[in-house]
Structure 1
């Protein structure tokens, strides 16, 4: 398969084609204009000569006077070998002839009486040798009433040679312009594309270990500045994504190691010496709890992996948001009563969302709020219409979250108090799942925290 032309070669070829078209069309127009102008000037000279010949001959008394005043008449064409002249009487006898070698007028139209000689009366014919002739045929009334025929013409070979030289000049100029356009265009385009080659060279230095590398944008043309900015933004996103992936992998390994280490340590202690039945049962209960924690973690990781797939499909419907919030509150009622916490629902309106994902997001927020709500306080589930759509809020009183942590609460495996979260059985993925669910709906999740309460907001856009 033939190798494709480079962009430089393609642009140089286009420059060459444009040059050929411009010079070819321009040269052709100029050639036609010159030929037309030359022909018009020659026709004017022929007409003027024919008019003078008629005026001079009309003053003669008879055809014999033409012989007598021959020098006066042929002075009209004297000194120009391209012009020729012939005068003959009605019987065809030649009375005056100059440059007879030019004559071959078999194709000349029949001579007609002409009251006034104009440029459009000029005729064209060709000799047997292929020479082009242009001339005027007219009749002239002499003073005695006799009529003679006259032909004034011009042989056009010198004009054709002039136009041929001009045409060859146009061809040569076009060819030189073509070669110059190819060479200069290639050099110019290659120099103009140097920033692209520099970008490609800089891009080769970007590797997995050097995602912090950015393409230089100091001396690039304005047209490429936007491209470099877009590429640098892409590299920044890739770097951030890779860092998150690396952090996620490390956090996942750490969180998986904790329950596995707990089960292994407890089992090794139990096997160190004989134990009672109650002690073995307690060990099994502890291992089951750790297995459940591992199962929840694996389930959450699988959900996040599926949700990150662009082909993940949500089934959104319209439903009364209050009914679903009451259903979630009823599910957590037993846990809330054991913790001495009450749940209050103040909601209304219709929401367009995936019901199962909505329940999961609210459940994760409610479970998180129950862990940090003091005994005897009330946890609130509420909704509010906004210009963008509907906002669902889960609010709980308690110790405010430091402001430096608010921006990272929805990151995977991020915990404000790692020890407290581990002891409570948290996997560190609940809030990350909430953010992913909101992104699947085209919305967002935010958090506010002060001395009065901590509020998690779910922003659902309008349908």
Structure 2
């Protein structure tokens, strides 16, 4: 498997590629600008030489004067070894030539010459080439002698030296560009690596966080502004993991303790029963006691499984609109027999429209009602009420009895929580596994609502707050 390229190398290569592109564009522009400037300057030299030579030739009488004043005519191209001069008669015979090497001499006379009375400009210059491929720029002009004859002046410029100059300049640009790219890569790599140091430090800090160090957080003081949202998210994730890990550890310990109790009860009862022969009635009583403990374990396991499933993101809910008052009355009727046995009176009042999962709603209210029945004194009353508070629907289960200490009102919704530190039956009935209120809070979280408790000397109230959800086609909530 090919290892991915590091971010530092990638950014350094990006800097180098950018530098290469910039150097390439600038170098190309400078190269062609120089080439054009050299061409303009050389053409200007050719034009000036041709103008001066024609002006001198116009003052001569005939071809003989041209031969006689050869040195004067040749002086127009002296000082520049790349310039060549040829003067031809009307028949094309060479009268004067200067600095014409065999390669240039073999060139044919330009097809068109500037007329004697026409202005000489750079547009009249013709590009030629020798057999060896050397570039030549030539200008042919006619000069009218005093006797009326015409002589053709050909001024040529060998561009080979310019080729060599531009080639060397281009090579230097290439070398400078490659060195610039290499330098940009090295500097970019150094700067990016320096800039990425906080990321490496952050990775080191993250690597040091283990299951026994979940309280550790990534230091924010050395983090660049651009990485602050990422570090905040990571620290938030670590806080969530720490909280979940602590809850899981506490949950595991509580679950082990609560499962150990019924198992110990069953084992003790069986050991006593098997210690000596006993009547059938005692064996039957032992089996009934063990069956009750098995049922208690079964309920505990069922509740734990429900809580585990409810925390899954894909937990399905069958939401529909119901009449909350009628549903509370139905739940109250279901518990009427148990309430009569406990000497408790159940009162249902209020009405409001809810959008809930009916089964989950019944389970939450039933858990609260069962919990209230355990702590309501004989001849006491339990009130199930529902009302529309405008921006929320409040369902309340209120019972008479001893108040709950304010410091415990939130903790009683924790899983396996016992109000009594000794984990005795105080605060939770013997038949309870300490999961009923935890299930209520989980159900309310699934509905986007809230569960909380209030308690004073008059009564204890467990309140379920549901959000008001209105959708097209659903019955409007009652006012």
TM-score by length of 2: 0.85
Per-residue deviation, 1:10: 3.1
Per-residue deviation, 1:244: 0.6
Partners of 2:16 and 2:185 within 8 A in 1: yes
Matched residues in 1 for 2:140 and 2:324: separation? Answer: 106
Query: Cα gap change, 1:436/1:336 in structure 2, threshold over 3 Å: closer, same or farther?
Result: same
Confirm or deny that 1:423 pairs with 2:423.
no
Per-residue deviation, 1:253: 0.9
The partner residue of 2:236 within 233, 238, 243 is 233
Q: Paired residue for 1:265?
A: 268
The partner residue of 1:366 within 365, 369, 381 is 369
Q: Paired residue for 2:466?
A: 459
Cα deviation code 1:328-386 (max 9, x no counterpart): 2222222334342322131222x333222222222223323333445433413314265
Partners of 1:382 and 1:394 within 8 A in 2: no
Cα deviation code 1:184-238 (max 9, x no counterpart): 3333333333333333333332222222232333323333333333222222211
Q: Paired residue for 2:248?
A: 245
Q: Paired residue for 1:124?
A: 127
The partner residue of 2:454 within 419, 434, 449 is 449
Matched residues in 2 for 1:58 and 1:327: separation? Answer: 129
Q: Paired residue for 2:349?
A: 345
Matched residues in 2 for 1:385 and 1:143: separation? Answer: 121
* DSSP-derived class of the 1:120 partner: helix
The partner residue of 1:138 within 137, 141, 156 is 141
Q: Paired residue for 1:25?
A: 25
Q: Paired residue for 1:16?
A: 16
Per-residue deviation, 1:29: 2.0
The partner residue of 2:384 within 361, 380, 384 is 380
Query: Cα gap change, 1:385/1:89 in structure 2, threshold over 3 Å: closer, same or farther?
Result: farther
Q: Paired residue for 2:113?
A: 111
Confirm or deny that 1:41 pairs with 2:41.
yes
Matches within 5 A, 1:322-333: 322-333=325-336
Q: Paired residue for 2:215?
A: 212
What stretches of structure 2 of length at least 5 have no aligned partner?
A: 472-479
Per-residue deviation, 1:414: 1.9
Matched residues in 1 for 2:74 and 2:308: separation? Answer: 107
Partners of 1:384 and 1:392 within 8 A in 2: no
Q: Paired residue for 2:476?
A: none
Cα deviation code 1:219-274 (max 9, x no counterpart): 23333333333222222211111111110011011111222223333444455566
Partners of 1:341 and 1:373 within 8 A in 2: no
Confirm or deny that 1:289 pairs with 2:295.
no
Matched residues in 2 for 1:147 and 1:394: separation? Answer: 127
* DSSP-derived class of the 1:25 partner: helix
The partner residue of 1:432 within 418, 438, 442 is 438
Could you tell which deviates more after superposition, 93-102 or 119-128?
A: 93-102
Could you tell which deviates more after superposition, 90-99 or 268-277?
A: 268-277
Matched residues in 1 for 2:406 and 2:118: separation? Answer: 109
Matches within 5 A, 1:142-181: 142-181=145-184
Q: Paired residue for 1:53?
A: 53
Partners of 1:438 and 1:460 within 8 A in 2: no
Per-residue deviation, 1:299: 0.6
Confirm or deny that 1:76 pairs with 2:76.
yes
Query: Cα gap change, 1:290/1:50 in structure 2, threshold over 3 Å: closer, same or farther?
Result: same
Per-residue deviation, 1:35: 1.1
Query: Cα gap change, 1:402/1:74 in structure 2, threshold over 3 Å: closer, same or farther?
Result: farther
Could you tell which deviates more after superposition, 59-68 or 92-101?
A: 59-68
Matched residues in 2 for 1:336 and 1:68: separation? Answer: 146
Per-residue deviation, 1:138: 2.4
Partners of 2:24 and 2:177 within 8 A in 1: yes
Per-residue deviation, 1:448: 4.2
Query: Cα gap change, 1:48/1:396 in structure 2, threshold over 3 Å: closer, same or farther?
Result: farther
